[in-house]
Chains A and B, each alone.
Chain A
Amino acid sequence: MMDRTCRHLSTTLDKVTVSLSGKVVIKDISLQIACGDLLAIIGPNGAGKTTLLRAILGEIPFEGSIKFEALGERVRRPLIGYVPQQVAIEKGTPTSVEDLLVMAIGASPFSLLWRPMVRRQVMEALDRVQVGYLLKERLCDLSGGELQRVLLAAAITPLPDLLLLDEPVSGVDPQGLALFYELVSELRQKRHLSIIIVTHDLAGIAPHADRMVLMKESILVEGTAEDVLQDEMLIRTFGPKLLNVATLLEAKK
Protein backbone atom coordinates (compact mmCIF):
# COMPACT_ATOMS: atom_id res chain seq x y z
CA MET A 1 0.00 0.00 0.00
CA MET A 2 2.71 2.41 1.00
CA ASP A 3 4.79 2.05 -2.11
CA ARG A 4 2.23 2.23 -4.82
CA THR A 5 2.22 5.32 -6.98
CA CYS A 6 -0.93 7.21 -7.84
CA ARG A 7 -3.30 5.44 -10.19
CA HIS A 8 -2.20 7.78 -12.98
CA LEU A 9 -5.06 9.98 -12.07
CA SER A 10 -5.78 13.02 -14.14
CA THR A 11 -8.19 15.64 -12.99
CA THR A 12 -10.15 17.77 -15.42
CA LEU A 13 -12.12 20.81 -14.40
CA ASP A 14 -14.48 22.13 -17.01
CA LYS A 15 -16.05 25.56 -16.54
CA VAL A 16 -16.41 25.17 -12.81
CA THR A 17 -18.50 27.96 -11.34
CA VAL A 18 -19.40 28.30 -7.68
CA SER A 19 -21.92 30.71 -6.21
CA LEU A 20 -22.24 31.08 -2.47
CA SER A 21 -25.37 32.82 -1.17
CA GLY A 22 -26.10 34.12 -4.65
CA LYS A 23 -22.66 35.62 -5.13
CA VAL A 24 -20.33 34.21 -7.75
CA VAL A 25 -17.09 33.23 -6.04
CA ILE A 26 -15.34 31.42 -8.87
CA LYS A 27 -16.28 31.44 -12.50
CA ASP A 28 -15.55 29.24 -15.51
CA ILE A 29 -12.45 27.59 -14.14
CA SER A 30 -11.08 25.01 -16.58
CA LEU A 31 -7.94 23.14 -15.67
CA GLN A 32 -6.24 19.85 -16.21
CA ILE A 33 -3.85 18.24 -13.79
CA ALA A 34 -2.05 15.09 -14.87
CA CYS A 35 -0.36 12.46 -12.77
CA GLY A 36 2.93 13.83 -11.47
CA ASP A 37 1.99 17.47 -12.03
CA LEU A 38 2.54 20.13 -9.45
CA LEU A 39 0.16 22.97 -10.10
CA ALA A 40 0.46 26.13 -8.06
CA ILE A 41 -2.59 28.35 -7.73
CA ILE A 42 -1.86 31.89 -6.74
CA GLY A 43 -4.06 34.89 -6.29
CA PRO A 44 -4.89 37.61 -3.79
CA ASN A 45 -7.03 37.08 -0.70
CA GLY A 46 -10.63 36.34 -1.54
CA ALA A 47 -9.76 35.22 -5.06
CA GLY A 48 -11.66 31.96 -4.56
CA LYS A 49 -8.65 29.65 -4.24
CA THR A 50 -9.93 27.76 -1.22
CA THR A 51 -13.39 27.62 -2.77
CA LEU A 52 -11.87 25.88 -5.78
CA LEU A 53 -10.30 23.26 -3.53
CA ARG A 54 -13.60 22.79 -1.72
CA ALA A 55 -15.30 22.18 -5.05
CA ILE A 56 -12.67 19.56 -5.97
CA LEU A 57 -13.22 17.92 -2.59
CA GLY A 58 -16.94 17.76 -3.35
CA GLU A 59 -17.73 19.87 -0.33
CA ILE A 60 -19.79 22.52 -2.11
CA PRO A 61 -22.16 22.46 -5.07
CA PHE A 62 -20.84 23.83 -8.36
CA GLU A 63 -21.78 24.20 -11.99
CA GLY A 64 -19.61 22.71 -14.69
CA SER A 65 -17.84 19.45 -14.18
CA ILE A 66 -14.91 17.95 -12.32
CA LYS A 67 -13.80 14.62 -13.74
CA PHE A 68 -11.22 12.20 -12.48
CA GLU A 69 -9.80 9.70 -14.90
CA ALA A 70 -7.22 6.97 -14.59
CA LEU A 71 -5.93 5.07 -17.61
CA GLY A 72 -8.89 6.14 -19.69
CA GLU A 73 -11.45 5.11 -17.09
CA ARG A 74 -13.58 7.37 -14.99
CA VAL A 75 -12.78 7.32 -11.27
CA ARG A 76 -15.83 8.23 -9.25
CA ARG A 77 -14.34 8.86 -5.85
CA PRO A 78 -10.59 9.26 -5.96
CA LEU A 79 -8.60 9.30 -2.77
CA ILE A 80 -7.80 12.95 -2.08
CA GLY A 81 -5.19 13.98 0.45
CA TYR A 82 -5.80 17.40 1.91
CA VAL A 83 -3.70 19.71 4.03
CA PRO A 84 -5.97 22.44 5.35
CA GLN A 85 -5.08 26.10 5.50
CA GLN A 86 -5.39 26.33 9.22
CA VAL A 87 -6.32 23.84 11.84
CA ALA A 88 -7.70 25.62 14.83
CA ILE A 89 -6.61 23.36 17.62
CA GLU A 90 -7.61 24.60 21.01
CA LYS A 91 -4.93 24.60 23.64
CA GLY A 92 -5.00 21.39 25.61
CA THR A 93 -6.86 19.27 23.05
CA PRO A 94 -5.90 15.67 23.85
CA THR A 95 -5.13 14.54 20.32
CA SER A 96 -1.57 13.39 19.73
CA VAL A 97 0.40 13.17 16.50
CA GLU A 98 0.17 9.41 16.90
CA ASP A 99 -3.64 9.61 17.21
CA LEU A 100 -3.91 11.60 13.99
CA LEU A 101 -1.76 9.17 12.03
CA VAL A 102 -3.52 6.13 13.44
CA MET A 103 -6.79 7.68 12.33
CA ALA A 104 -5.30 8.41 8.90
CA ILE A 105 -4.44 4.73 8.56
CA GLY A 106 -8.04 4.02 9.42
CA ALA A 107 -7.43 2.26 12.71
CA SER A 108 -8.70 3.17 16.15
CA PRO A 109 -6.27 4.89 18.54
CA PHE A 110 -7.33 2.24 21.05
CA SER A 111 -6.12 -0.56 18.81
CA LEU A 112 -2.50 0.53 19.31
CA LEU A 113 -2.52 -1.46 22.51
CA TRP A 114 -2.83 -4.77 20.67
CA ARG A 115 -1.73 -3.95 17.11
CA PRO A 116 2.01 -3.34 16.84
CA MET A 117 1.67 -3.24 13.02
CA VAL A 118 -0.29 -0.02 13.26
CA ARG A 119 2.44 1.54 15.36
CA ARG A 120 5.02 0.62 12.73
CA GLN A 121 2.94 2.11 9.93
CA VAL A 122 2.56 5.31 11.92
CA MET A 123 6.32 5.58 12.36
CA GLU A 124 6.88 5.00 8.64
CA ALA A 125 4.40 7.70 7.76
CA LEU A 126 6.02 10.20 10.12
CA ASP A 127 9.53 9.34 8.98
CA ARG A 128 8.52 10.05 5.39
CA VAL A 129 8.24 13.73 6.32
CA GLN A 130 10.98 13.59 8.96
CA VAL A 131 8.84 14.15 12.02
CA GLY A 132 9.19 10.79 13.77
CA TYR A 133 10.38 12.57 16.89
CA LEU A 134 6.97 14.22 17.31
CA LEU A 135 5.10 10.92 17.74
CA LYS A 136 3.92 11.48 21.31
CA GLU A 137 3.37 15.25 21.12
CA ARG A 138 -0.07 16.76 21.21
CA LEU A 139 -1.10 18.53 17.97
CA CYS A 140 -1.87 21.69 19.93
CA ASP A 141 1.72 21.91 21.20
CA LEU A 142 3.39 21.85 17.76
CA SER A 143 4.90 24.84 15.98
CA GLY A 144 3.33 25.96 12.70
CA GLY A 145 5.97 24.18 10.62
CA GLU A 146 5.79 20.96 12.60
CA LEU A 147 2.01 20.90 12.40
CA GLN A 148 2.08 21.37 8.62
CA ARG A 149 4.49 18.48 8.19
CA VAL A 150 2.41 16.25 10.46
CA LEU A 151 -0.71 17.19 8.48
CA LEU A 152 1.19 16.39 5.29
CA ALA A 153 2.14 13.00 6.72
CA ALA A 154 -1.54 12.35 7.48
CA ALA A 155 -2.64 13.56 4.04
CA ILE A 156 -0.36 11.08 2.26
CA THR A 157 -1.36 8.16 4.47
CA PRO A 158 -2.56 6.15 2.66
CA LEU A 159 -1.06 7.53 -0.53
CA PRO A 160 -3.79 9.54 -2.26
CA ASP A 161 -4.49 9.94 -5.98
CA LEU A 162 -4.48 13.69 -5.68
CA LEU A 163 -2.96 15.92 -3.04
CA LEU A 164 -4.44 19.33 -2.24
CA LEU A 165 -2.39 21.76 -0.19
CA ASP A 166 -4.26 24.86 0.90
CA GLU A 167 -1.91 27.70 1.77
CA PRO A 168 0.18 25.25 3.72
CA VAL A 169 2.77 27.84 4.59
CA SER A 170 0.94 30.41 6.68
CA GLY A 171 2.63 30.80 10.03
CA VAL A 172 5.62 28.69 9.09
CA ASP A 173 9.20 29.91 9.47
CA PRO A 174 11.35 30.21 6.27
CA GLN A 175 13.43 27.16 7.11
CA GLY A 176 10.36 25.05 7.73
CA LEU A 177 8.95 26.35 4.49
CA ALA A 178 11.95 25.31 2.42
CA LEU A 179 11.81 21.85 3.98
CA PHE A 180 8.10 21.61 3.29
CA TYR A 181 8.54 22.43 -0.40
CA GLU A 182 11.36 19.91 -0.67
CA LEU A 183 9.22 17.20 0.87
CA VAL A 184 6.37 17.99 -1.49
CA SER A 185 8.70 17.98 -4.50
CA GLU A 186 10.19 14.71 -3.45
CA LEU A 187 6.75 13.16 -3.07
CA ARG A 188 5.87 14.18 -6.54
CA GLN A 189 9.03 12.75 -8.03
CA LYS A 190 9.06 9.51 -6.08
CA ARG A 191 5.35 8.76 -6.13
CA HIS A 192 4.16 10.66 -9.20
CA LEU A 193 1.44 12.33 -7.20
CA SER A 194 -0.73 15.03 -8.72
CA ILE A 195 -0.45 18.00 -6.45
CA ILE A 196 -2.40 21.24 -6.35
CA ILE A 197 -0.96 23.82 -4.03
CA VAL A 198 -2.63 27.10 -3.17
CA THR A 199 -0.16 29.64 -1.92
CA HIS A 200 0.81 33.23 -1.40
CA ASP A 201 4.47 32.38 -1.39
CA LEU A 202 5.27 32.92 -5.04
CA ALA A 203 9.03 32.90 -4.60
CA GLY A 204 9.03 29.70 -2.60
CA ILE A 205 6.85 27.66 -4.89
CA ALA A 206 8.19 28.93 -8.23
CA PRO A 207 11.18 26.55 -8.45
CA HIS A 208 8.96 23.54 -7.74
CA ALA A 209 5.84 24.20 -9.80
CA ASP A 210 5.45 22.86 -13.34
CA ARG A 211 2.53 25.08 -13.95
CA MET A 212 1.10 28.09 -12.28
CA VAL A 213 -2.34 29.62 -12.39
CA LEU A 214 -3.08 33.17 -11.37
CA MET A 215 -6.70 33.49 -10.44
CA LYS A 216 -9.11 36.07 -9.17
CA GLU A 217 -12.62 34.71 -9.49
CA SER A 218 -11.62 33.28 -12.87
CA ILE A 219 -8.26 32.28 -14.32
CA LEU A 220 -6.27 35.36 -15.32
CA VAL A 221 -3.02 33.78 -16.44
CA GLU A 222 -1.98 30.17 -16.86
CA GLY A 223 1.38 28.77 -17.88
CA THR A 224 4.79 27.89 -16.55
CA ALA A 225 5.85 29.61 -13.37
CA GLU A 226 8.06 31.84 -15.48
CA ASP A 227 5.23 32.84 -17.78
CA VAL A 228 2.96 33.73 -14.91
CA LEU A 229 5.59 35.58 -12.93
CA GLN A 230 6.49 37.70 -15.94
CA ASP A 231 2.93 38.51 -16.81
CA GLU A 232 1.90 42.04 -16.11
CA MET A 233 -1.43 40.80 -14.75
CA LEU A 234 0.51 39.59 -11.75
CA ILE A 235 1.52 43.08 -10.76
CA ARG A 236 -1.91 44.40 -11.54
CA THR A 237 -3.47 41.77 -9.30
CA PHE A 238 -1.12 41.88 -6.40
CA GLY A 239 0.08 45.48 -6.68
CA PRO A 240 3.68 46.46 -7.37
CA LYS A 241 4.67 46.77 -3.74
CA LEU A 242 3.95 43.17 -2.95
CA LEU A 243 6.42 41.64 -5.30
CA ASN A 244 9.75 41.90 -6.78
CA VAL A 245 9.48 39.94 -9.99
CA ALA A 246 13.21 39.88 -10.51
CA THR A 247 13.68 38.07 -7.19
CA LEU A 248 11.01 35.60 -8.11
CA LEU A 249 12.61 34.79 -11.42
CA GLU A 250 15.93 34.42 -9.67
CA ALA A 251 14.31 31.93 -7.34
CA LYS A 252 13.01 29.98 -10.30
CA LYS A 253 16.54 29.54 -11.65
Chain B
Amino acid sequence: MWWSYDFMQWALMAVLIITPVLALLGTFVIRHHLTFFSDIVGHSSLTGIALGLALGLAQPTPAMIGLALLLAFLVSLLQKWSRSSVDMSLGVLFSLMTSLGVVLLSKGGGFSKFTAYLIGDILTVSPTQLFPMFIVGVCVVIMWVILHNAIVLISLNPLLARSRRIPVFWVEVGLTSMLAVMVTLSVQWIGVLVVNSLLILPAATARPWAKNARQYAAFSVLIGLTSGVIGLIGSFYWGSATGATIALVGSFFFAMSLLLRVVI
Protein backbone atom coordinates (compact mmCIF):
# COMPACT_ATOMS: atom_id res chain seq x y z
CA MET B 1 0.00 0.00 0.00
CA TRP B 2 1.09 3.55 -0.58
CA TRP B 3 1.46 4.57 3.04
CA SER B 4 3.96 1.81 3.81
CA TYR B 5 6.65 3.76 1.98
CA ASP B 6 8.60 6.38 3.94
CA PHE B 7 8.84 8.74 0.97
CA MET B 8 5.06 8.69 0.62
CA GLN B 9 4.60 9.55 4.27
CA TRP B 10 6.94 12.53 3.95
CA ALA B 11 5.25 13.55 0.74
CA LEU B 12 1.88 13.36 2.47
CA MET B 13 3.13 15.66 5.21
CA ALA B 14 4.42 18.07 2.57
CA VAL B 15 1.04 18.02 0.83
CA LEU B 16 -0.77 18.61 4.12
CA ILE B 17 1.43 21.66 4.71
CA ILE B 18 1.41 23.38 1.34
CA THR B 19 -1.99 22.64 -0.22
CA PRO B 20 -4.08 24.35 2.50
CA VAL B 21 -1.75 27.35 2.62
CA LEU B 22 -1.81 27.75 -1.16
CA ALA B 23 -5.60 27.32 -1.16
CA LEU B 24 -5.99 30.01 1.50
CA LEU B 25 -3.75 32.38 -0.46
CA GLY B 26 -5.76 31.55 -3.55
CA THR B 27 -8.81 33.33 -2.12
CA PHE B 28 -6.76 36.55 -2.09
CA VAL B 29 -5.34 35.87 -5.54
CA ILE B 30 -8.84 35.61 -6.99
CA ARG B 31 -10.28 38.53 -5.04
CA HIS B 32 -7.37 40.72 -6.06
CA HIS B 33 -6.99 39.53 -9.66
CA LEU B 34 -3.45 38.29 -9.16
CA THR B 35 -3.65 35.01 -11.06
CA PHE B 36 -1.30 36.25 -13.75
CA PHE B 37 1.10 37.68 -11.22
CA SER B 38 1.38 34.40 -9.33
CA ASP B 39 2.06 32.59 -12.60
CA ILE B 40 4.85 35.05 -13.37
CA VAL B 41 6.41 34.43 -9.99
CA GLY B 42 6.28 30.68 -10.57
CA HIS B 43 7.95 30.95 -13.97
CA SER B 44 10.52 33.43 -12.71
CA SER B 45 11.89 30.75 -10.43
CA LEU B 46 13.86 29.53 -13.43
CA THR B 47 15.63 32.86 -13.64
CA GLY B 48 16.06 32.73 -9.88
CA ILE B 49 17.82 29.38 -10.14
CA ALA B 50 20.11 30.70 -12.86
CA LEU B 51 20.83 33.72 -10.69
CA GLY B 52 21.68 31.44 -7.78
CA LEU B 53 24.08 29.46 -9.95
CA ALA B 54 25.70 32.59 -11.30
CA LEU B 55 26.23 33.85 -7.76
CA GLY B 56 27.81 30.52 -6.86
CA LEU B 57 25.25 29.72 -4.14
CA ALA B 58 25.09 26.13 -2.88
CA GLN B 59 21.29 26.41 -2.76
CA PRO B 60 19.39 28.49 -5.31
CA THR B 61 16.49 29.18 -2.91
CA PRO B 62 17.71 32.53 -1.51
CA ALA B 63 18.27 33.87 -5.03
CA MET B 64 14.83 32.62 -6.11
CA ILE B 65 13.13 34.28 -3.16
CA GLY B 66 15.10 37.49 -3.61
CA LEU B 67 14.09 37.72 -7.24
CA ALA B 68 10.46 36.89 -6.43
CA LEU B 69 10.31 39.64 -3.78
CA LEU B 70 11.78 42.11 -6.23
CA LEU B 71 9.10 41.17 -8.75
CA ALA B 72 6.42 41.53 -6.08
CA PHE B 73 7.54 45.06 -5.34
CA LEU B 74 7.83 45.94 -9.02
CA VAL B 75 4.34 44.70 -9.80
CA SER B 76 2.85 46.59 -6.85
CA LEU B 77 4.51 49.75 -8.14
CA LEU B 78 3.23 49.00 -11.62
CA GLN B 79 -0.32 48.68 -10.31
CA LYS B 80 0.01 51.91 -8.40
CA TRP B 81 1.45 54.05 -11.18
CA SER B 82 0.40 52.51 -14.44
CA ARG B 83 -2.56 54.10 -16.12
CA SER B 84 -2.41 51.88 -19.16
CA SER B 85 -3.13 48.19 -19.15
CA VAL B 86 -1.34 46.41 -16.31
CA ASP B 87 -2.28 43.16 -18.01
CA MET B 88 -0.08 43.90 -21.00
CA SER B 89 2.88 44.93 -18.86
CA LEU B 90 2.50 41.70 -16.91
CA GLY B 91 2.49 39.76 -20.17
CA VAL B 92 5.76 41.38 -21.15
CA LEU B 93 7.24 40.63 -17.74
CA PHE B 94 6.10 37.02 -18.01
CA SER B 95 7.78 36.59 -21.38
CA LEU B 96 10.97 38.23 -20.20
CA MET B 97 11.33 36.22 -17.00
CA THR B 98 10.47 32.88 -18.56
CA SER B 99 12.69 33.23 -21.62
CA LEU B 100 15.56 34.64 -19.60
CA GLY B 101 15.37 31.71 -17.19
CA VAL B 102 15.27 29.09 -19.92
CA VAL B 103 18.09 30.72 -21.90
CA LEU B 104 20.36 31.00 -18.87
CA LEU B 105 19.71 27.45 -17.71
CA SER B 106 19.96 25.86 -21.16
CA LYS B 107 23.19 27.64 -22.11
CA GLY B 108 25.63 24.93 -23.13
CA GLY B 109 22.81 22.39 -23.47
CA GLY B 110 22.30 21.53 -19.82
CA PHE B 111 18.63 22.22 -19.26
CA SER B 112 17.71 18.59 -18.53
CA LYS B 113 19.28 18.97 -15.06
CA PHE B 114 16.55 21.43 -14.22
CA THR B 115 13.46 19.64 -15.52
CA ALA B 116 12.76 18.62 -11.91
CA TYR B 117 11.84 22.26 -11.30
CA LEU B 118 9.33 22.17 -14.12
CA ILE B 119 7.29 19.28 -12.78
CA GLY B 120 8.37 19.24 -9.13
CA ASP B 121 9.64 16.38 -7.01
CA ILE B 122 7.56 16.20 -3.85
CA LEU B 123 8.34 12.48 -3.54
CA THR B 124 11.97 13.31 -2.70
CA VAL B 125 11.05 15.59 0.19
CA SER B 126 13.24 14.95 3.19
CA PRO B 127 12.15 15.42 6.80
CA THR B 128 14.65 18.27 7.18
CA GLN B 129 12.83 20.21 4.48
CA LEU B 130 9.45 19.79 6.12
CA PHE B 131 10.05 21.82 9.24
CA PRO B 132 11.16 25.07 7.55
CA MET B 133 8.24 24.77 5.16
CA PHE B 134 5.88 24.28 8.10
CA ILE B 135 7.20 27.46 9.73
CA VAL B 136 6.80 29.43 6.50
CA GLY B 137 3.26 28.04 6.16
CA VAL B 138 2.34 29.14 9.67
CA CYS B 139 3.76 32.62 9.02
CA VAL B 140 1.78 32.93 5.79
CA VAL B 141 -1.43 31.90 7.56
CA ILE B 142 -0.84 34.48 10.31
CA MET B 143 -0.17 37.17 7.70
CA TRP B 144 -3.27 36.06 5.81
CA VAL B 145 -5.41 36.65 8.89
CA ILE B 146 -3.80 40.03 9.57
CA LEU B 147 -4.19 41.28 6.00
CA HIS B 148 -7.62 39.76 5.39
CA ASN B 149 -9.87 42.75 6.08
CA ALA B 150 -7.61 45.21 4.32
CA ILE B 151 -7.46 43.08 1.20
CA VAL B 152 -11.19 42.43 1.04
CA LEU B 153 -11.89 46.16 1.45
CA ILE B 154 -9.32 47.20 -1.14
CA SER B 155 -10.78 44.79 -3.65
CA LEU B 156 -14.25 46.20 -2.96
CA ASN B 157 -13.18 49.80 -3.43
CA PRO B 158 -9.69 51.29 -2.90
CA LEU B 159 -11.07 54.67 -1.83
CA LEU B 160 -13.30 53.02 0.73
CA ALA B 161 -10.21 51.25 2.05
CA ARG B 162 -8.33 54.56 2.18
CA SER B 163 -11.12 56.17 4.14
CA ARG B 164 -10.63 53.44 6.74
CA ARG B 165 -6.94 54.37 6.93
CA ILE B 166 -5.70 51.27 5.20
CA PRO B 167 -2.26 51.84 3.63
CA VAL B 168 -3.35 50.42 0.28
CA PHE B 169 0.06 50.30 -1.37
CA TRP B 170 1.83 48.60 1.52
CA VAL B 171 -0.92 46.07 1.98
CA GLU B 172 -0.58 45.18 -1.68
CA VAL B 173 3.19 44.89 -1.31
CA GLY B 174 2.61 42.59 1.67
CA LEU B 175 0.20 40.47 -0.31
CA THR B 176 2.39 40.11 -3.38
CA SER B 177 5.47 39.41 -1.24
CA MET B 178 3.71 36.73 0.75
CA LEU B 179 2.50 35.21 -2.48
CA ALA B 180 5.97 35.42 -4.04
CA VAL B 181 7.62 33.59 -1.14
CA MET B 182 5.02 30.85 -0.92
CA VAL B 183 4.88 30.19 -4.67
CA THR B 184 8.67 30.17 -5.01
CA LEU B 185 9.10 27.71 -2.15
CA SER B 186 6.37 25.47 -3.55
CA VAL B 187 7.96 25.38 -6.99
CA GLN B 188 10.58 22.77 -6.16
CA TRP B 189 7.92 20.40 -4.81
CA ILE B 190 5.03 21.09 -7.15
CA GLY B 191 6.74 22.35 -10.29
CA VAL B 192 6.77 25.61 -12.23
CA LEU B 193 4.12 24.37 -14.61
CA VAL B 194 1.32 23.67 -12.14
CA VAL B 195 2.08 25.58 -8.96
CA ASN B 196 -0.40 28.25 -9.97
CA SER B 197 -3.16 25.64 -10.32
CA LEU B 198 -2.83 24.69 -6.66
CA LEU B 199 -3.28 28.35 -5.82
CA ILE B 200 -6.24 29.10 -8.08
CA LEU B 201 -8.31 25.93 -8.38
CA PRO B 202 -9.45 25.43 -4.76
CA ALA B 203 -10.55 29.06 -4.38
CA ALA B 204 -12.20 29.08 -7.81
CA THR B 205 -14.10 25.92 -6.93
CA ALA B 206 -15.13 27.22 -3.50
CA ARG B 207 -16.18 30.70 -4.64
CA PRO B 208 -19.66 30.06 -6.05
CA TRP B 209 -20.66 28.01 -2.98
CA ALA B 210 -19.43 30.41 -0.33
CA LYS B 211 -21.92 32.88 1.13
CA ASN B 212 -19.35 34.79 3.15
CA ALA B 213 -15.64 35.25 3.76
CA ARG B 214 -15.45 32.51 6.37
CA GLN B 215 -17.01 29.87 4.14
CA TYR B 216 -14.82 30.96 1.24
CA ALA B 217 -11.65 30.30 3.23
CA ALA B 218 -12.94 27.08 4.80
CA PHE B 219 -14.24 25.56 1.55
CA SER B 220 -11.10 26.52 -0.32
CA VAL B 221 -8.80 24.92 2.25
CA LEU B 222 -10.94 21.80 2.35
CA ILE B 223 -10.93 21.45 -1.43
CA GLY B 224 -7.18 22.14 -1.55
CA LEU B 225 -6.47 19.45 1.03
CA THR B 226 -8.76 16.89 -0.59
CA SER B 227 -7.33 17.34 -4.07
CA GLY B 228 -3.82 17.29 -2.57
CA VAL B 229 -4.30 13.95 -0.84
CA ILE B 230 -6.19 12.32 -3.72
CA GLY B 231 -3.64 13.64 -6.22
CA LEU B 232 -0.72 12.32 -4.20
CA ILE B 233 -2.19 8.82 -3.87
CA GLY B 234 -3.28 8.84 -7.51
CA SER B 235 0.20 9.79 -8.68
CA PHE B 236 1.64 6.85 -6.71
CA TYR B 237 -0.54 4.32 -8.50
CA TRP B 238 -0.32 5.93 -11.92
CA GLY B 239 3.38 6.69 -11.69
CA SER B 240 2.63 10.27 -12.73
CA ALA B 241 4.10 13.58 -11.57
CA THR B 242 2.50 14.43 -8.22
CA GLY B 243 2.07 18.19 -8.69
CA ALA B 244 0.31 17.78 -11.99
CA THR B 245 -1.88 14.97 -10.65
CA ILE B 246 -3.01 17.18 -7.77
CA ALA B 247 -3.78 19.97 -10.24
CA LEU B 248 -5.73 17.55 -12.40
CA VAL B 249 -7.84 16.39 -9.45
CA GLY B 250 -8.39 20.07 -8.60
CA SER B 251 -9.55 20.75 -12.15
CA PHE B 252 -11.92 17.80 -11.89
CA PHE B 253 -13.42 19.25 -8.70
CA PHE B 254 -13.80 22.61 -10.42
CA ALA B 255 -15.59 21.03 -13.38
CA MET B 256 -17.89 19.11 -11.01
CA SER B 257 -18.67 22.29 -9.10
CA LEU B 258 -19.47 24.10 -12.32
CA LEU B 259 -21.73 21.28 -13.45
CA LEU B 260 -23.52 21.18 -10.10
CA ARG B 261 -24.13 24.93 -10.27
CA VAL B 262 -25.80 24.51 -13.61
CA VAL B 263 -27.96 21.62 -12.39
CA ILE B 264 -29.01 23.25 -9.09
Contact = CB atoms under 8 A, between A and B. Distances in A.
B160 A82 contact: yes
A94 B212 contact: yes
A98 interface: yes
B19 to A, nearest CB: 20
B60 to A, nearest CB: 37
Contact of A99 (B152, B159, B164): B152
A109 to B, nearest CB: 4
Report which residue of B153, B156, B162, B163 has the largest number of chain A beta carbons within 10 angstroms of its beta carbon.
B163
A1 to B, nearest CB: 16
Contacts, number: 76
A46 interface: no
Interface residues of B, number: 26
A103 B162 contact: no
B211 A138 contact: yes
Interface size class of chain A, counting residues whose CB lies under 8 Å from the partner chain: 35 or more
Nearest to B152: A95
Interface string A53-90: 01001110000000000000000010011101001110
B163 A99 contact: no
B223 to A, nearest CB: 13
Given A94-B210, A136-B211, A77 B165 contact: yes
Given A59-B162, A84-B160, A94-B212, 6 more contacts: A89-B156, A94-B213, A98-B212, A110-B214, A138-B211, A155-B163
List 9 tightest A-B contacts by C-beta distance, closest first: A82-B163, A94-B210, A96-B212, A94-B216, A103-B149, A109-B213, A99-B213, A84-B157, A87-B157
Interface of B: 31, 83, 145, 148-149, 152-153, 156-157, 159-160, 162-165, 206-208, 210-217
